[in-house]
């Protein structure tokens, strides 16, 4: 479904991504993990096109993503939903308006059609009753659930999550992970940059471990956690788990 081929990305002198190749199939839940600065967020942002890769190609459904073919590129990007660490809800709009905006402006729906879809997804994330609230009156967990609903409203084929729980208070992490788990159970293809090892292990099917801009390990979740192959992965896991 998504194929990343020999992608390179530099920020000045820093090699953020170094010859990264990766393939994600339909229905897979892939966790990108690794130390901070390892390039996992950069990889996710390159897949969506928020960052332009310096070299390499990205394919979606077998077709290469090419920014110079504007119309097609836009359609390809619209097949991916993106969830940010800091939610990025629109503070000047209510929850419902947040969900409606792109459906009306990009999807060409009427207000009524958009509202119907929005309410459906807001119900799914358990926030239907917050439809008229402004984002700044919501808790962090609620904000992120709205952000997920907003992305789902555009009917994407896959969802990209960039550290969706890293900005949350600890007691709110679970409600967001539950929503993501439900989404995975319904067959959504997901790529998740996360520090939640429990989620990566139990909900994800596959772990891609990055370090210094390179993919060090790519294996089924259970195998990665119970029997990591590389020293770098072993070292990372020993630091993450407090025993």
Tell me which residues touch other proteins (CB under 8 A): 48, 50, 74, 77-78, 80-82, 84, 86, 88-92, 101-102, 105-106, 134, 136, 150-151, 154
- What's the closest the beta carbon of residue 25 comes to other proteins, in angstroms? 22
| Residue 23 near residue 3 (C-beta atoms within 8 A) | yes
- What's the closest the beta carbon of residue 6 comes to other proteins, in angstroms? 24
Question: How far is residue 243's CA from residue 239's CA, in Å, rounded to a whole number?
Answer: 10
Maximum Cα–Cα distance across the chain: 55
Structure tokens at 73: 């590129």
Q: Rank residues 143 and 206 by Cβ distance to other proteins and give the closer one.
A: 143
Question: How far is residue 92's CA from residue 98's CA, in Å, rounded to a whole number?
Answer: 9
Q: Rank residues 30 and 159 by Cβ distance to other proteins and give the closer one.
A: 159
Q: Rank residues 102 and 237 by Cβ distance to other proteins and give the closer one.
A: 102
- Would you say how long the chain is, in residues? 243
- What's the closest the beta carbon of residue 50 comes to other proteins, in angstroms? 6
Q: Rank residues 81 and 204 by Cβ distance to other proteins and give the closer one.
A: 81
List strands edge to edge, sheet with 2-11.
14-24, 2-11, 55-60, 63-64
- What's the closest the beta carbon of residue 11 comes to other proteins, in angstroms? 15
């Amino acid at each position: 479904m998504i194929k990343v081929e020999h992608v390179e990305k530099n920020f000045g002198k820093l090699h953020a991504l170094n010859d990264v190749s990766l393939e994600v199939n339909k229905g897979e839940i892939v966790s990108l993990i690794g130390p901070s600065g390892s390039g996992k967020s950069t990889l996710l942002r390159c897949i969506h096109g928020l960052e332009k890769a310096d070299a390499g190609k990205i394919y979606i459904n077998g077709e290469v993503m090419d920014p110079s073919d504007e119309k097609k590129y836009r359609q390809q990007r619209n097949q991916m939903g993106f969830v940010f660490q800091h939610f990025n809800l629109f503070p000047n709009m209510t929850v419902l308006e947040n969900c409606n905006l792109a459906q009306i402006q990009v999807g060409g729906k009427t207000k009524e059609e958009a509202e119907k879809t929005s309410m459906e997804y807001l119900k799914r994330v358990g926030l239907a009753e917050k439809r008229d609230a402004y984002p700044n009156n919501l808790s962090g967990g609620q904000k992120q659930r709205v952000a997920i609903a907003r992305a789902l409203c555009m009917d994407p084929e896959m969802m990209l999550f960039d550290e969706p729980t890293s900005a949350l208070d600890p007691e709110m992490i679970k409600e967001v992970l539950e929503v993501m788990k439900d989404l995975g159970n319904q067959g959504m293809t997901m790529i998740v940059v996360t520090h939640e090892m429990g989620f990566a292990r139990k909900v994800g099917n596959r772990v891609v471990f990055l370090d210094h801009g390179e993919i060090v390990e790519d294996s089924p979740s259970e195998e990665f956690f119970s029997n990591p192959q590389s020293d770098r992965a072993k070292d990372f896991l020993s630091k993450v788990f407090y025993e």
